[in-house]
Structure 1
């Protein structure tokens, strides 16, 4: 049955609570309770669970769900997939076990009449109980506390909390508990671990504000809700000039750094999961681990895992985006042939990622990087500027935009973007690229001392690619530095076939012949073979 021919369905009028397993759904009060305790839930997810519960034991088609839950809107299959994931997460279910919400392939979904609680998790490799969750994590931001005796920091603390929640919510892969729910839970006076359990949160962010005259100190930490282990903490000392600028700046920094740390934590969690329990989210995380190794072999493993993630959940946009970028990096950094057919395939994956979620900055970032590799600089800049409008805290987008601006000759603007990326995420898995691409911008501007400095810093990052070393060789060659031969030897140990012709072939995305000439001439002066 097509969606255009399905008979319109509506949510039935409430006639008392609906019970299934440990859950009670109360349509009159718009509440979902588990063992008598209210479970935080978003309105659309509530409507979906309510519709499934009203048809408990029966399979409802996608079209019937569309008509009931989105009666006046035309939405994509990706939106339904996202809501099914949210419903399962709220109920403690997942797409692998399907103990509560079952997928009936080719037909629709069914809420089971008899629902067993999720199986207890066994210990993981480091001895702690492995989380039963599959899919993206949930985070709750606790209200910042003011440590001032006179209460002057209370207004700043409240504003700081709201801005951090807003900034973190721009990360589409991270479900952030709304401010009203977070404040209500905190007002109940429970301990943070209990608040996390009630909210169904995997991580907590807590902060404090302290004032001393015109100075402000904001301390923030991120905790793993399973064992209250501190994953990240940082203190920001600032002058109290403009309160809104202060809140904006710290919220941006907190969002960027929390997202980086939780991204790494999620990758580690996925790596500890039993392979039989892997869903699309875990496969995406495993692919990301391989992506950031920056080797030819890991790039191939990354692409295979991301294709598996897409197979598991065709409505999940992130794997499409990362796969598109991995394919481009294969052509730039590794041994993939930079041919048009491969470029077209990468572009299709990038576009599909955006189609799944055009409000996700990461998918637009990947589209921008594919456009750049295709020498479509203006389109690349457009996509990356859109990504930054969606999430100005995403360091990768600042770096990608800086790279695109550099190839357009807008070098000062490019360098500002690279610095923004470094400031936002100084421990980013891609930080070597922030520095390496910046060295190229200085090289194109014939600022060879700065180019050598940033390239050298890039080479010190453990997962740095050999192109950072190549940038250093070119800069030292222009400087006539006596260390150039040693730098060439180091480059040759990493990539024995590196030559000036190799560089020309791999720098296919440079449109300006003058920029390519500067790079190749530096290699020649350093002693790199033709």
Structure 2
């Protein structure tokens, strides 16, 4: 027997779906505003909760493993639970529990589920949400996710439940942070209080509360909050200097500035740029915490196993890239010891990104799940599942670790590039100017290359010790010479000179050796360039563009088989790399030099299809197709080049690529087949 529910407007949607599911707080379901009586069985409610959030088909064996700890008849109990779930969610004309083969799916596409609404808004980007909707979303939190639904002797479900609670607390904190930055000053205290309740160790909320109190002249309350917070942090063994500094700065601002009732501006996605003593303003980097991975094969905390080893390797390899501020292993492992989850840890450490994951071994197969999340928006920006046979445990972990690190670095670079392009140019710090430069650099045309050069010069001026900015600037001069956009000699010298400055800034940065390798190749020193690229790989085996450049040099005048191997490895590490056209093109050139023209043509066509493929890449496709006898296709690619470069000839390609005599002769042969008469 149901009863009508008078819930608040944040949860009720009277004109929306008839079936509404509340997971944020105590599980509740209503149909047409009438609360449904839920079964007393925790297993039924747990099954309903899990399937509501899953959004996909789940095998019966997975559900049995999740909810039952070696029962007499798990499948029989599952059938009974499913019958109860059907009684709650199915309508006479609408079956929402879908059983197909050996899988179960709860189809709630036409229903309102608060947790799914929150997750969707977070993934779309809360920085774009209007304050009115932010209030509604924040109001949906009536408590912890599936409050009170723990099940005795169901460790797998309880582990999942704990992870979801941490995830949605992070979402709640992110919504409240955005609200604080979007509403009038007199409204923020209620939101700050809720934020403090769910994230008491988040540096940012304390800083904002102290600023708000100082602006309002509520000095006594500020002093009381300072004392209580310092005591809380020190009791937990955490550094409290930041909050004393924040209060001192807030008092100073309030004493020198008139009180203004306004909104509090907060960066939507990045952690505060004035992170106490973690990073100086001049050399700011994006920061990241890699949390220990969960070992799904153990029910107790056993340290030193493969999961801990993988997290340690990822921390070490990310540090070798030299582009990110990495939280030390000791800190993140200590937080895990205290039961601090990834989302809370990210806020406690005031980092921009958090990596978390799990490891599971089933027989001879190892499965690793990993995700990268933005701390201040609780948005999952990348997630992947790696599954591989265990021929050699350490070799497999090494291979998967390489892929994880390369993917994390690539995703963060993409996010930072896209963020920087939206910022006013005169507001950029060195890190942001560098990524603004990368955004233009990867467009690989003359005008964008000029803009990239400007932003890299800005980054170098702001931070002369920033090796990556020097490397980017060197690359723009390399492009000018390689593409023929400026006189080759001076641009070659400039690329070499600035690559040297990059090495002087940080000779442990693989990008510095990458820049020097390219400059040496441009000068005709192929052997020395290979040495530099291999040094970059030694410093960071995950540095995909170094593997690509090894392939590039070998493809033009070296070991063609080695070129193919390095190209494949680069693509394996970074399958969506902005330089993917080059990786494919290097493979095609190597295949041409091996006389495997049909294969070369196929790979060259793939390279030319990339959106940022420039004229030389399309020329490789045209002449490879000609060598393979596919003349009509070859002429189409050559015609696309001549639309913008009507005088382009095969010698332009040979000069740019610096082919050895064998390679040059083959590409000239391709040109002859296209133009038999001359």
Q: Determine the structure 2 residue equivalent to 1:370.
A: 519
Q: Is the contact between residue 467 and residue 511 of structure 2 (CA under 8 Å) also seen in structure 1? A: no
Which of 453, 456, 467 does residue 317 from structure 1 map onto?
467
Aligned partner of 1:351 in structure 2 is 500
How far did 1:349 drift? Answer: 0.2
2:669 is the alignment partner of 1:521 = yes
For residues 75-90 of structure 1, the aligned pairs below 5 Å read none
- Kept in 2, the 8 Å contact 1:472–1:487? The answer is yes
Once the two structures are superposed, residues 287-331 of structure 1 have per-residue CA deviations (whole angstroms, 9 ceiling, x without a partner) of 000000111111111111111211111121111111111211122
Please name the residue that 2:265 is paired with. Answer: 122
State the Cα distance separating 1:476 from its structure 2 match: 1.2
Alignment of 1:290 with 2:440, yes or no, is yes
Q: Flag structure 1 segments of 5+ consecutive residues without an equivalent.
A: 1-20, 23-32, 41-45, 51-87, 93-98, 101-111
1:340-374 Cα deviation digits (max 9, x unpaired) = x3222211100000110000001101110111111
Aligned to 2:311: 161
Aligned to 2:541: 392
| 3-state SS of paired residue (1:170) | helix
| 1:300 match | 450
Q: Identify the residue that residue 137 of structure 1 maps to in structure 2.
A: 286
CA distance in 2 between counterparts of 1:506 and 1:393 reads 28
Aligned to 1:484: 634
Q: State the distance in 2 between where 1:460 and 1:429 align.
A: 13
Q: Secondary structure at the match of 2:584?
A: helix
Aligned position for 2:204:
none
Cα separation, partners in 2 of 1:323 and 1:529, compared to 1, 3 Å: farther
CA distance in 1, matches of 2:641, 2:625: 13
TM-score (norm 1): 0.75
**Cα gap change, 1:34/1:139 in structure 2, threshold over 3 Å: closer, same or farther?**
farther
Shift of residue 116, structure 1, vs aligned partner: 8.4
User: Does structure 2 conserve the Cα–Cα contact (< 8 Å) formed by 1:138 and 1:201?
Assistant: yes
More divergent stretch after superposition (309-318 vs 477-486)? 477-486
Deviation at 1:163, TM superposition (A): 1.5
Q: Which residue of 2 aligns with 1:274?
A: 424
Please identify the structure whose Cα radius of gyration is greater.
2
Q: Which residue of 1 aligns with 2:370?
A: 220
Of 393, 397, 404, the match for 1:254? 404
Does structure 2 conserve the Cα–Cα contact (< 8 Å) formed by 1:153 and 1:211?
A: no
1: CA distance, partners of 2:302 / 2:398: 16
Shift in CA distance, 35/517, structure 1 to aligned 2, threshold 3 Å: farther
Matched, 1:336 2:479: no
What's the Cα RMSD here?
3.4
Paired position in structure 1 for 2:99: none
Give per-residue Cα distances to partners, 1:424-482, cap 9 Å, x unaligned.
00011111111012111111222111211111111222222222211011111112214
Q: Distance in 2 between matches of 1:120 and 1:327?
A: 44
After superposition, the Cα gap between the structure-2 partners of 1:131 and 1:199, relative to the gap in structure 1 and judged at 3 Å, is closer
1: CA distance between counterparts of 2:676 and 2:408?
A: 42
Q: Measured at CA, do residues 518 and 163 of structure 1 come closer, stay the same or move farther in structure 2, by a change above 3 Å?
A: same
2:596 pairs with 1:447? yes
- Structure 1 position 264 matched with structure 2 position 414: yes
Query: 2:443 is paired with a residue of what secondary structure?
Result: coil
Asked if the contact 1:485/1:527 (under 8 Å) is kept, the reply is: no
> Which residue among 327, 330, 342 is the counterpart of 1:180?
330
Question: Aligned in 2, Cα 1:250/1:288: closer, same or farther, shift over 3 Å?
Answer: same
CA distance in 2, matches of 1:407, 1:345: 23
Equivalent residue in structure 1 for 2:559, among 410, 413, 416: 410
CA-CA distance at 1:34 after TM superposition: 8.4
| Distance apart, 1:223 and its partner CA | 0.4
Question: In the aligned structure 1, how far is the partner of 2:506 from the partner of 2:270?
Answer: 30
- Residues 170 and 391 of structure 1 are in contact (CA less than 8 Å); yes or no, is this contact kept in structure 2? yes
Cα–Cα, structure 1 residues 488 and 409, in superposed 2: closer, same or farther, change >3 Å? Answer: same
In the other structure, the counterpart of 2:16 is none
Q: C-alpha separation between the residues in 2 aligned to 1:348 and 1:335?
A: 19
Q: Report deviation, 1:164.
A: 1.6
Q: Which residue of 1 aligns with 2:582?
A: 433
Please tell me whether the aligned partners of residues 320 and 540 of structure 2 are also in contact (alpha carbons under 8 angstroms): yes
Structure-2 separation of matches of 1:313 and 1:279: 9
Q: Which of 346, 351, 373 is the aligned partner of 1:196?
A: 346
> Aligned with 1:258: secondary structure?
helix
Question: 1:382 deviation in Å?
Answer: 1.1
| Change in CA separation of 1:276 and 1:332 when aligned onto 2, cut-off 3 Å | closer
TM-score (norm 2): 0.59
Aligned partners of 1:502, 1:392: CA distance in 2, in Å?
Answer: 34
Aligned to 1:460: 609
Q: Is the partner of 1:206 in helix, strand or coil?
A: strand
User: Is the contact between residue 499 and residue 528 of structure 1 (CA under 8 Å) also seen in structure 2?
Assistant: no
Measure, in 1, the Cα distance between the counterparts of 2:473 and 2:653. 24
Q: Quick one: distance in 2 between partners of 1:327 and 1:399? A: 19
Structure 1 residues 212 and 471 mapped into 2: Cα distance closer, same or farther (>3 Å)?
Answer: same
More helix by share: 2
Hey, what does 1:80 align to over in structure 2? none
Q: For residues 208-266 of structure 1, give each alpha carbon's deviation from its aligned partner in whole angstroms, at most 9, with x where no partner exists.
A: 11221111110111001111111111111111232211211111110011101111011
Query: Does structure 1 retain, via aligned residues, the 8 Å contact 2:563–2:590?
Result: yes
Does the 8 Å contact 1:354/1:364 carry over to 2?
yes
The answer for the alignment partner of 1:420 in structure 2 is 569
Measured in 2, the distance between the counterparts of 1:193 and 1:159 equals 21
Q: List alignment gaps of at least 5 residues for structure 2.
A: 1-206, 211-227, 256-261, 274-280
CA displacement, residues 117-173 of structure 1 (integer Å, 9 cap, x when unaligned): 9x997367xxx4665427311100111112236669972212221122122221101
Are 2:361 and 2:367, in contact at CA under 8 Å, matched by a contact in 1? yes
CA 34–378 in structure 1, closer or farther in 2 if over 3 Å, else same: farther
**Contact 2:482 2:656 (C-alpha < 8 Å) held by counterparts:** yes
Task: Name the structure, 1 or 2, with higher relative contact order (CA <8 Å, separation 6+).
Answer: 1
- Offset at residue 505 of structure 1 (A): 4.2
User: 1:148 maps to what in 2?
Assistant: 297
